[in-house]
Chains A and B, each alone.
Chain A
Amino acid sequence: MGKKAQSDGEMLKGTLDMMVLRTLVTGDAHGHTIAKVIERSSEDVLEVEQGSLYPALHRLEDRGWVSSYWGASENNRKAKFYRLTPAGKKQLVRETNRWRQMARAIALVMGEKVPVKGGTE
């Protein structure tokens, strides 16, 4: 929850969609879980802004990359679960590839040896 560390927490444009899709690979989840998983897996470097998470989820659903259904959350609340669709899986592969290329290019420019390893510096 490094709220003050602004530039660290800000996500690169377009990467939120990819990460949301990636999160859903392991199984269906609702908004809270998705945000938590992203934060945890980034060792709390990335902070998911709710203001963009929910619009992003609706957008992904619109494009047919995720589908949704209503279920019960861990605390037995009515929650909207999202599931990765086959089209979403393809999209994820596409975006991952693009991301790897990009990360590698940036790494090369920055004069690092590391061939491919994502993340913010």
Chain B
Amino acid sequence: MNLRRFFHRWRADAELLQEIDTYLTEEIAENMARGMSPEEARRQAHLKFGNPQRVRESLWQQNTITTIDTLWRELKYAVRTLARTPGFAAIAILVMALGIGGNVALFTVVRSVLLKPLPYRDADRLFALYEHNANSPDSYSFLPVDAGSFWEWQRATQSTAEMAMLSPWQDYSVSADGGKLPEKISAGWCSWNFFPTLGITPALGRSFTSDDDRPQAMETAVLTYSFWKRRYSGDPEIVGKIIFLDARPYTVVGVLPASFTFSSAFGGSKIQVWTPVQREAPHALLTTYEDHEFLVLARLRKGATLPRLVDQLNAIQAQIQATHPDPAVKGAVIGRTMLDDVVYSYKTSLYALLAATGCVLLIACMNVAGLLVARSAARSKDLAIRAALGGSRLRLLRERLVESLILSAAGGALGLLLAWIALGWLVHVRGDMNRVEAIHIDGTVAAFTVGVIALCALFSGLVSALSSNGTHVMVALQESSRSHSGGTARARLRKVLLVLEVGLTVVLLVGAGLLLKSYQRLRSTDIGVPEENVLTMRFSLPEVRYKEPVQQVAFFEQLIGLVRAVPGVQAAGLVSTPPGEGWNGDRMMQVVEHPPLPKREVPDVMVRGAEPGYFSAIQIPLLRGRIFTLDERLQRANVAVISRSAAQILFPGEDPIGRHLRSEEGGDVHEVVGIVGDTRWDVAQPIRPTLYWPIYGNHGTAATIVIRSTHDVESLASPVQRVISQLDPDLPVSDVTTLREAIGKSTIDSEFSSIVVVAFSVIALALAAAGLYGVLAYLITQRTNEIGVRIALGAQREQLLRLMLVDGLKPALFGLALGLMASAGTARLIRSMLYETRPLDPAVFCSVVVALLLVAMLACIVPAWRASRLDPAQALRSE
């Protein structure tokens, strides 16, 4: 009501004019009726009415909301003052935009990824359960669950929780049909109650029933929305149709809603098809207590809590361990919320980045506050005169706040734009991150932006307002250029701000240095083979069409022969998984010639199937003995080549050649024929002992083609794929990538964090340098006169230079000390993000000190040098 009136003041005024006019006419008519002459009648009427202007003014005032009115006036005034110094305004706005933009972007990410509940019904009641791998570092203590334990857990906890099991690392080859190429897709096996547990109902058809989830059931599948849209063009009649997965017919029973997403600490975000686990998994896997192949999700019933559930499961698990004494059987259970499970690996780095942007924002605010202080110093006379004329202190304070509000608001608007661009970039480069699809700028983010703007405005406005001592009007008015008491007080405040600014910058620089060093360590880690010019691609033979090992081997051999003949291919080989591309299989190995070890002490080695040409193709050096030969295949494939570290662990102090290894799981025995160099399965993980046996035999159906070329190895991808499709048009090829890209993918988190933090710390350093320069330049202008006197009295230029330099560098040194102390604390917080780098790495700390001192010197030397070159006559005349 009031606001409406406020904005309709013009209309009310127009109406009033009309009313006044009517009044006067009526009064004149009446007067004339009384017998007055027309002029007298008019005069009397006007006399009686009085001054119409006053009536209008009083109505105008009545309709005015004073605060809005004055605020509006102040806003106009502030915009005008800022427009008079566009350079200052542009710098301040840009600085604010960087600070606010970075914060808004990171806040959006943290909120969307780490804080927003997962898109399931009552997502806070969903938990992920693991077996507890007690003697592993933090991130590896969550061990997937074996099916045997799962069934017992499920049976025992029916009253407290609904439990579902899944295996997210499956895949199928989708046969070529309807003109579509064959392709390999990620898939998940799940227990029939998986979707009901999450609270998901399919968009089409139904989800699985317990009848589908039986070994003897018909093959059924549930498709994800995107797969249905992409592969089957959103066919509305898909439910009930047959699709061919691994050349077997599956009935589609349902399609998941578009909003459905799934991810876990162990992947799953790329899953396109879900199938019932008891129908799909081999019987052995469904009954074992030793093979940890499944993830377990639990929805707690009302009143149940995670600690109570874990207690209950611990008792069961201890029982299981007692009855199955095997090192693979763990005796304890560990759980976390499903949300925690999904975002576990991003938590530290995202919070660290948010903290970094927070530092930048603080620095930005201090910088803008510093600039405002300098401005108010320049305007101190103007302000003093206004105070003397009766301008209230509050009014002057408000003016200052309005000014900083305009700067922050403009900065915030620009910052929001920057954040939007940054988020687009982030979603693009961090496709690997779980929940990256949930990142959106929404109402909460907008509210956050407004809040940040208000805080920045308040901070920088208050600092600058409090620095101007409005109470001492006389001092300011009298302050001629001969005295500079007020000026130094202001400079002191700016110096304090600078100390803090430099301190924060040092913290950021140290963080950036540590992350950068860690990233470099990571990238320079030798995975055991040259990374350049190696192309890899995966395929796996569907067992329906390649049932017999003979068929498989024949295909492998034919294929690799054709690949080697492709022009440009220097060497090629087959392996189950190349270095740097993942875990993919390990076995417990006993040395046959040694006395049997107790189960707990049997060494665990990585196992790879390889084709004889693989070693020379990827350039793993042969250290002793020989590589297995081409005819050591099928029944004669019981030979093995081991890595150097495997030789050291399995055969300490003896010659392994000619000895035999027995696999604990299968019981098959392999003779060691050679020793090769070590490789890493993951660039960020320590070397593990590895055993290679012939892929021609030993149940190898999945393989990676490794191709080495002298240059442009990427260009070989399509000719090689063509060769494969000539051989088997229905065989999909997946994960076509260069070795370098594959390794880059596993270091992307480290790369991303270090790039972002380095960028922020460079900004911070630039801001701090600008601050240093500004304060010293300001101080020197204040002291021009004094310097002139000193020079006139015979002070040496070098002496003056030193004096000024020390004055300017002091805040930098204090800030440096403060920052180093703070960094010692904060560096520990990012310990988990560091790879082979200690949090208190002396090299990093030293380079930060040197870099900061250099930049500070540079920032100070220019004004100091200028001061020492002053012409004393001119300086003294500058009064």
Contact = CB atoms under 8 A, between A and B. Distances in A.
Interface of A: 1, 30-33, 35-36, 49-52, 54-55, 58-59, 62, 73-75, 77-80
23 contacts: A1-B48, A31-B19, A32-B23, A32-B27, A36-B30, A50-B23, A50-B49, A50-B50, A51-B51, A51-B54, A54-B16, A54-B19, A55-B58, A58-B16, A58-B62, A62-B1, A62-B5, A73-B26, A74-B29, A75-B26, A77-B25, A80-B18, A80-B22
A52 B22 contact: no
Q: Interface size for chain B: under 10, 10 to 19, 20 to 34, or 35 or more residues?
A: 20 to 34
B90 interface: no
A78 B21 CA distance: 9
Given A58-B62, A58-B63, A50 B26 contact: no
Interface in B1-58: 1, 5, 12, 15-16, 18-23, 25-27, 29-30, 48-51, 54-55, 58
Interface of B: 1, 5, 12, 15-16, 18-23, 25-27, 29-30, 48-51, 54-55, 58-59, 62-63
Contacts of A78: 18, 22
Consensus secondary structure, chain B interface: helix
A59 B62 contact: yes
A94 to B, nearest CB: 20
Contact of A51 (B5, B19, B22, B50): B50
B31 to A, nearest CB: 11
Contacts of A30: 19, 22, 26
A91 to B, nearest CB: 16
B58 A73 contact: no
Nearest to B4: A62
Contacts of B19: 30-31, 54, 79-80
Contacts of A32: 22-23, 26-27
Q: Which 5 A-B pairs have the closest CB atoms?
A: A32-B26, A79-B22, A32-B23, A55-B59, A77-B22
Nearest to B21: A77
Nearest to B57: A51
Contacts of B48: 1, 50
B50 A49 contact: yes
A55 B26 contact: no
Contact of B55 (A35, A50, A80): A50
Nearest to A35: B23
B12 A58 contact: yes
A102 B27 CA distance: 34
A58 to B, nearest CB: 6
A38 to B, nearest CB: 14
Given A31-B22, A58-B63, A62-B1, 20 more contacts: A30-B22, A31-B23, A32-B22, A32-B27, A35-B23, A50-B20, A50-B49, A51-B55, A51-B58, A54-B20, A54-B59, A58-B12, A58-B16, A73-B22, A74-B29, A77-B22, A79-B26, A80-B15, A80-B18, A80-B19
Nearest to B51: A51
Contacts of B15: 80
Nearest to B28: A75
B26 A77 contact: yes
Nearest to B2: A62
A51 B22 CA distance: 15
Given A50-B55, A58-B59, A58-B63, A74 B26 contact: yes
